[in-house]
Amino acid sequence: MERIQKIIARSGLCSRRKAEELIKEGRVQVNGVTVTELGTKASYDDIITVDGKQIVIKEPTYLVMNKPRGVISSVKDEKNRKTVISILPKEFQNLGLYPVGRLDYDTKGVLLLTNDGEFMNRMVGPNSNIEKEYLVRINGIISKERLKSLEDGVVIDGYKTRKCKTYFVSMDKKNNSSLVGIILKEGKNQQVKKMFAAIGYPVKRLTRIRFGEITVDGIPEGGVRLLKPHELKRLYVLSNQTSK
């Protein structure tokens, strides 16, 4: 027996916190009976509905993809462009998977996929403290001092970003560009691009090379592999660490 909000989150419908809200609002039924108490438990054999629609529990699956550029981090796309779900191998096509967070259309690299809503919320929710590392090709030759100015936070979209880490990799004087790294624990929409734009260095190319301790070493572009049990455990540990 599990708490109902956990079962709903496991279905991938929403996070556990959102499921708790649905229960309190009287929108959840178990075997035809409306449930409003958060401590109520059910089994995976019970019929659980949300707003009259039965949820489907699938075996929890956790993948890491080496996302290519030119692919949407979404389940579907209105413009019929390739999505991270549409390029999955056939054995993973019908498991109800969705991306954990997003990578921009023109960004490649580490992307997790799951059908476990609770896991997704732990990885990219507002309280997550998991590091994400990016390699960034920017316009212009940036100094190490200017790069360091990002570390204490910059103002984008009306808020100041959290502290992060940066490092210089190389410069290309011929093409007037620099390759740098940035490690942050946030993941707001186009955050890395906006941070560099805020200090006057537009991003030309972006690659995520690490999510927590997960990399795409050995995975070809567009390829995936299952996360190993010890990798999952480490991600949960990292998500619980206090932000510094």
Is 104 among the catalytic positions? yes
231, 214 Cβ separation under 8 angstroms: yes
Closest CA to 64 of 106, 23, 97: 97
**Within 13 Å and on the Cβ side, how many CA atoms surround 31?**
7
Q: Residue 111 — φ and ψ, nearest 5°?
A: -140, 125
Q: Is the dihedral of CA 227, 230, 233, 235 positive or negative?
A: negative
Dist. CA 177–CA 180, nearest whole Å:
10
196 SS3 class:
helix
Closest CA to 226 of 58, 52, 65: 65
Provide the 10 A C-beta neighbour count for residue 207: 18
- Out of 45, 104, 106, 157, which one is annotated catalytic? 104
Give residue 180's Cα distance to chain centre.
Answer: 22
In the DSSP assignment, the letter for residue 104 is -
Would you please indicate which residues are annotated as catalytic (active-site) residues? Answer: 104
